[in-house]
């Protein structure tokens, strides 16, 4: 059988981080929504499935610890990986081309342009997903810790900040859930090109055909030494 050339997309550390992140996200979603909408019949049913509110809340805290831990893992990875691999990349930072790509993509989807935009290592969609997590973790993590340890934060912050933490936490949660299940899930799961999923999240690789379709500018910089035969 002829071996197919594939390109390294995500290393093992990145895949582990993604798996822990989405696992903890699902846990927090399932246990968090019944807390926000406590009077709903569905919420009461979910609480009963956990054997009571105390058990549900304990699971929610476990999910929170896992998400905070994997976020710390990612920050450490960002600091250590360039030093360990001797490779630095700023590809995930927003650039002017990303904004022009949005306009180009909308025009393409409306039939006003014949060809889609040419993406590099990360498209504007992927950058949006990535940086939304940074924003979300700052709001969700910070407000969650305030509610968990109010006696500590009250020593350094005014009362109104502590009182606002619940609203910031729950409203940001709804925003994050909406973004993941509408925006992210369509791009990587429900899109006709990928349904039922884009396997790059567990394989860590893309084929040449996928690179040509999604990251042609990056593909143009590869040589045969960068390809991994499988």
The larger pLDDT score, comparing residue 34 to residue 224, is at 34
Separation between Cα atoms, residue 138 and residue 72, nearest integer Å: 12
pLDDT of residue 223: 57
Does pLDDT of 40 surpass 50?
A: yes
Average pLDDT over residues 87-95: 91
pLDDT in tens, 134-182: 889 999 999 999 999 999 999 999 989 998 999 999 999 999 999 999 9
- Count other Cβ atoms within 10 Å, centred on residue 217: 13
Where residue 229 falls among pLDDT bands split at 50, 70, 90?
A: very low
pLDDT of residue 230: 37
Does pLDDT of 1 surpass 60?
A: no
Q: Is omega for the bond preceding 155 within 30 degrees of 0, making it cis?
A: no
- Asked whether 203 and 4 are in contact (CB, 8 A), the reply is no
Q: With a threshold of 0.75, does the pTM exceed it?
A: yes
pLDDT of residue 178: 94
Mean pLDDT across the chain, nearest whole number? 91
Does pLDDT of 225 surpass 90?
A: no
What length is written for the chain? 230
Where residue 85 falls among pLDDT bands split at 50, 70, 90?
A: confident
pLDDT of residue 76: 96
Planar angle of CA 108, 183, 90, nearest 5 degrees? 80
Does pLDDT of 226 surpass 60?
A: no
Helix (H) / strand (E) element for 8: namely strand 5-8
pLDDT of residue 112: 95
């Amino acid at each position: 059988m002829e071996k197919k050339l594939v390109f390294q997309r995500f290393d093992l550390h990145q895949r582990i981080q993604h798996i822990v992140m989405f696992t903890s996200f699902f846990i927090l979603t399932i246990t968090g929504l019944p807390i926000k909408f406590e009077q709903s019949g569905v919420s009461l049913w979910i609480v009963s499935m956990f054997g009571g509110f105390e058990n549900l809340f304990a699971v929610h805290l476990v999910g929170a610890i896992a998400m905070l831990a994997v976020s710390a893992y990612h920050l450490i990875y960002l600091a250590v990986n360039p030093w360990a691999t001797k490779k630095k990349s700023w590809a995930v930072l927003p650039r002017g081309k990303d904004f022009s790509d949005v306009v180009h993509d909308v025009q393409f989807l409306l039939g006003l342009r014949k060809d889609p935009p040419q993406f590099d290592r990360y498209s504007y969609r992927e950058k949006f997903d990535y940086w939304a997590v940074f924003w979300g973790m700052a709001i969700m993590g910070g407000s969650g810790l305030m509610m968990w340890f109010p006696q500590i934060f009250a020593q350094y912050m005014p009362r109104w900040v502590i009182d606002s933490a619940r609203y910031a936490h729950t409203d940001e949660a709804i925003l994050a859930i909406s973004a993941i299940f509408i925006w992210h899930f369509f791009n990587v799961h429900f899109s006709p090109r990928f349904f039922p999923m884009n396997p790059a999240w567990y394989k860590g690789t893309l084929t040449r055909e996928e690179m040509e379709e999604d990251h042609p500018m990056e593909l143009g910089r590869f040589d045969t030494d960068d390809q991994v035969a499988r």
